[in-house]
A and B are shown apart, each in its own frame.
Chain A
Amino acid sequence: MSAVLEHLVNQPYKHGFVTPVEADTAPKGLNEDVIRLISGKKKEPQWLLEFRLKAYRHWLTMQQPHWANVRHAEIDFQDIIYYSAPIPKKKLASMDEVDPELLRTFEKLGVPMHERAQLAGVAVDVIFDSVSVATTYKQKLAEVGILFCSMSEAVRDHPDLVLRHLGTVVPYTDNFYAALNSAVFTDGSFCFIPRGVKCPMELSTYFRINTQESGQFERTLIVAEEGASVSYLEGCTAPKFDTNQLHAAVVELIALDDAEIKYSTVQNWYAGDEQGVGGVYNFVTKRGLCKGASSRISWTQVETGSAITWKYPSCVLLGDNSSGEFYSVALTNNRQQADTGTKMVHIGRNTRSRIISKGISAGRSNNSYRGLVRIGPKAENARNYSQCDSMLIGSHSGANTFPYIQVANHTARVEHEATTSKIGEDQLFYFAQRGIGAEEAVSMIINGFCRDVFQQLPMEFAVEATKLLGLKLEGSVG
């Protein structure tokens, strides 16, 4: 029956097509000229070019990090294309004018645009390689004062807001990949929810890498003013190439007093083939700042793709009574490697954090949870609860948990629970003996295992996530 299991977890990647779209592409490699070119293409103000150049010069002094529990060949940063944009036929006035090839791509991917967007009530910003293609629902959101647009448009139309917040949560000095992103980021989403506004719909961004040797370096910034709230979802796919693509994004969230930001990710970048050839290197820095009192930031992620995932969506709990949450499902198969988790940094008083991490390892993959809970000296009555569960499928996969707990205030209470379980022959036989085939059994066990996390996703995306895990794990039983 282990052969059945292997078959079940080895479903082909369904987003691996390339779209034949004419692209405006920068030459390979990175230097100050390339940065000036990117900045020039995007007609950026001088301050942003300087921000990029400072980041680049700092990046030159840094080393690639090697502490994560992943293995890969040294990345040649001169062998990457840092700017690739589909050439539009003309300036776009509405969604109807988007290149039909692109629309077909997004249709294949199941991105809800056009009527489907209305049905789903989801506003979508779509990033194709480096450039934001269209933002649906912009008008409707503008009526309540919400700004939702691509980062490029934000720089052009709301430069003061971008200048005030960009790099304040993740400074370019933060880490190697954040510095790289700060130097070369090409687009991303920008979202601003003004004081007291509850965003009336889910906001969503869809990322797609299309060019073989291009990196994707998007930059997302979400600011929720006092009492504002927003729920945001990103989805990611890439075509199948036998080379590795680098994805090094930075996401910054800022929540002021009583504001609430919920950020959900369904990540399905191409993971490479069974031998581990190709696939996306997903090296991402995501951090939320609970700046105001009683603010809340919640990260939910369903990570199923990428050859390597290196990602720790974090919360800095600065405001008193603020709270941070991290809900994660990370599924690895074949030769995939994931080192993912979170950081909860308690600074303010009465701050709360909650970590629920579910790792599923199949094939010969390796899945690590790495999490930091830090309670600062002034964080009176801080509370943390962490639960890290690992599930192994088959007998060649690995799961690790690396919790780091640093407490500098004796009134704090920190709890950590961890379990490891295994879908083995005996469980599947038990289901079979009750008439339930292996495919349904695995799907039922996995969904049960992930339930606490799926409950946190917006409903339509919970369905999508369940289906996605199904795609990865189900197949015809041989």
Chain B
Amino acid sequence: MIAREAKVLLEVRGLQVAVAGVEIVKGIDLVVRAGEIHAIMGPNGSGKSTFAKALAGHPAYVVTGGGVLFEGRNLFELAPEERARAGLFLGFQYPVEVPGVGNSAFLRLAYNTVQATRGKDELDPLEFDDFVRGKMKLLDMDPGFLDRSVNDGFSGGEKKRNEILQMALLEPRLAILDETDSGLDIDALRVVASGVNRLFTPDNAMVLVTHYQRLLNYIVPDYVHVMEGGRIIKTGDKALALELESRGYDWVMEEYRARVAA
């Protein structure tokens, strides 16, 4: 289904990441090409979120080994904001609240900053208002969101929609969505998933970090990776997700241990 010659967006080689001196990610290899959707699954504490945050450059996540190329550039030479401007987007599991900062001003500053990097026109507040309202309609979002402070007092579902709205505005090359499905009821999940599907094109790629198979009923992945103990221990397709749903993770781990022992 994926043309072999599709452009490599992300190339991860032997990545190791430590948090507070403890190594959490212990050697990940992963290649993501344009037009692909990858799902990373695995039990709590397997290192999924650490991997995502390290790629985005959270200062508490220290890269201790390996390397990452993003569109051929050394990702770790870029500051977090430069990674964002280069087209790497992280949808947060727990988006922070910023009381006092208006959502529309925040969204516009983010949008214009990224536009400027791409050499494209920035929008004034009125132009931006029209533009953002159009995007909100696609995500079935109440325009009242614009007048509130960033994520302040938002419900779990509202925060996640706000994340997808930001993704829609910034049009990243690679979007990593960290547990975007957690805290969503089934209707919200459907809306968010259809928003994500609409934003997916042959030129970009998505990495979905998730606990549960149910998101994958709406966003169909090309690859499913299982993480455990800071490593990817198995890779399959959509069928693997369904199997995990019915059988749990234990069998994958046993299979992996047997393989390592041999």
Q: Contact partner of A421 among B59, B79, B92, B99, CB < 8 A?
A: B99
| Least Cβ–Cβ distance between A1 and chain B, in angstroms | 4
Assess A448 versus B166: contact at CB under 8 Å? Given A427-B96, A432-B84, A435-B81: no
Among B62-70, B101-109, B128-136, which stretch is in contact with chain A?
Answer: B101-109
> For B113, what are the chain A residues with a Cβ–Cβ distance below 8 Å?
434-436
> For A445, what are the chain B residues with a Cβ–Cβ distance below 8 Å?
98, 100-101
> For B109, what are the chain A residues with a Cβ–Cβ distance below 8 Å?
436, 440, 444
Could you give, for residues 405-429 of chain A, a 1 whenever the CB lies within 8 Å of some chain B CB and a 0 otherwise?
0000000000000010100011101
The residue in chain B whose Cβ has the minimal distance to the Cβ of A448 is B100
Q: Contact partner of A436 among B59, B89, B100, B110, CB < 8 A?
A: B110
The residue in chain B whose Cβ has the minimal distance to the Cβ of A358 is B100
Q: Contact partner of A432 among B80, B100, B114, CB < 8 A?
A: B80
Docked Cα-Cα span, A429 to B81, in Å, equals: 8
The residue in chain B whose Cβ has the minimal distance to the Cβ of A3 is B59
Judged by a CB distance under 8 angstroms, whether B174 is at the interface is: no
Docked Cα-Cα span, A429 to B53, in Å, equals: 10
Q: Contact partner of A434 among B58, B60, B79, B166, CB < 8 A?
A: B166
Judged by a CB distance under 8 angstroms, whether A433 is at the interface is: yes
Judged by a CB distance under 8 angstroms, whether A430 is at the interface is: yes
Judged by a CB distance under 8 angstroms, whether A396 is at the interface is: no
How big is chain B's contact interface, by range?
20 to 34
Docked Cα-Cα span, A426 to B100, in Å, equals: 16
Judged by a CB distance under 8 angstroms, whether A449 is at the interface is: yes
Docked Cα-Cα span, A450 to B105, in Å, equals: 15
Docked Cα-Cα span, A218 to B114, in Å, equals: 51
Judged by a CB distance under 8 angstroms, whether A57 is at the interface is: no
> For B58, what are the chain A residues with a Cβ–Cβ distance below 8 Å?
425, 429
Docked Cα-Cα span, A450 to B79, in Å, equals: 29
Judged by a CB distance under 8 angstroms, whether B182 is at the interface is: no
> For B83, what are the chain A residues with a Cβ–Cβ distance below 8 Å?
433
Docked Cα-Cα span, A295 to B92, in Å, equals: 51
Q: Contact partner of A435 among B59, B84, B100, CB < 8 A?
A: B84
Docked Cα-Cα span, A440 to B110, in Å, equals: 11
| Least Cβ–Cβ distance between A356 and chain B, in angstroms | 12
Assess A448 versus B95: contact at CB under 8 Å? Given A433-B89, A434-B84: no
Instruction: Contact check, B59 vs A437: say whether CB atoms are below 8 A apart.
Output: no
Judged by a CB distance under 8 angstroms, whether A451 is at the interface is: yes
Could you give, for residues 336-375 of chain A, a 1 whenever the CB lies within 8 Å of some chain B CB and a 0 otherwise?
0000000000000000000000000000000000000000
Could you give, for residues 436-457 of chain A, a 1 whenever the CB lies within 8 Å of some chain B CB and a 0 otherwise?
1110100011011111000000
Docked Cα-Cα span, A444 to B100, in Å, equals: 9
Instruction: Contact check, A433 vs B101: say whether CB atoms are below 8 A apart.
Output: no
| Least Cβ–Cβ distance between B100 and chain A, in angstroms | 3
Instruction: Contact check, A434 vs B102: say whether CB atoms are below 8 A apart.
Output: no
Judged by a CB distance under 8 angstroms, whether B117 is at the interface is: yes
Docked Cα-Cα span, A448 to B98, in Å, equals: 9
Docked Cα-Cα span, A425 to B19, in Å, equals: 14
Instruction: Contact check, A433 vs B56: say whether CB atoms are below 8 A apart.
Output: yes
> For A448, what are the chain B residues with a Cβ–Cβ distance below 8 Å?
98-102, 149
> For B105, what are the chain A residues with a Cβ–Cβ distance below 8 Å?
444
> For B80, what are the chain A residues with a Cβ–Cβ distance below 8 Å?
429, 432-433
Judged by a CB distance under 8 angstroms, whether B170 is at the interface is: yes
The residue in chain B whose Cβ has the minimal distance to the Cβ of A477 is B79
> For A436, what are the chain B residues with a Cβ–Cβ distance below 8 Å?
81, 109-110, 113
The residue in chain A whose Cβ has the minimal distance to the Cβ of B109 is A436
Instruction: Contact check, A435 vs B114: say whether CB atoms are below 8 A apart.
Output: yes
Could you give, for residues 16-43 of chain A, a 1 whenever the CB lies within 8 Å of some chain B CB and a 0 otherwise?
0000000000000000000000000000
Instruction: Contact check, A430 vs B170: say whether CB atoms are below 8 A apart.
Output: no
Instruction: Contact check, B98 vs A429: say whether CB atoms are below 8 A apart.
Output: no
Docked Cα-Cα span, A419 to B90, in Å, equals: 29
B59, B85, B100: residue with the most chain A Cβ atoms closer than 10 Å: B100
Instruction: Contact check, B110 vs A434: say whether CB atoms are below 8 A apart.
Output: yes
> For B57, what are the chain A residues with a Cβ–Cβ distance below 8 Å?
429, 432-433
The residue in chain B whose Cβ has the minimal distance to the Cβ of A1 is B59
Given contacts A434-B113, A440-B109, A444-B105, 7 further A-B contacts (CB under 8 A): A425-B59, A427-B96, A433-B56, A433-B83, A435-B170, A448-B102, A450-B100
20 A-B contact pairs sorted by A residue (CB < 8 Å)? A1-B59, A2-B59, A429-B59, A429-B80, A430-B95, A430-B96, A432-B80, A433-B92, A434-B84, A434-B114, A434-B170, A436-B81, A436-B113, A438-B81, A440-B109, A444-B105, A444-B106, A444-B109, A448-B100, A449-B100
Interface residues of B (CB under 8 A from A): 56-60, 79-81, 83-85, 89-90, 92, 95-96, 98-102, 105-106, 109-110, 113-114, 117, 149, 166, 170
Closest 5 CB pairs of A and B: A448-B100, A434-B110, A432-B80, A448-B101, A435-B113
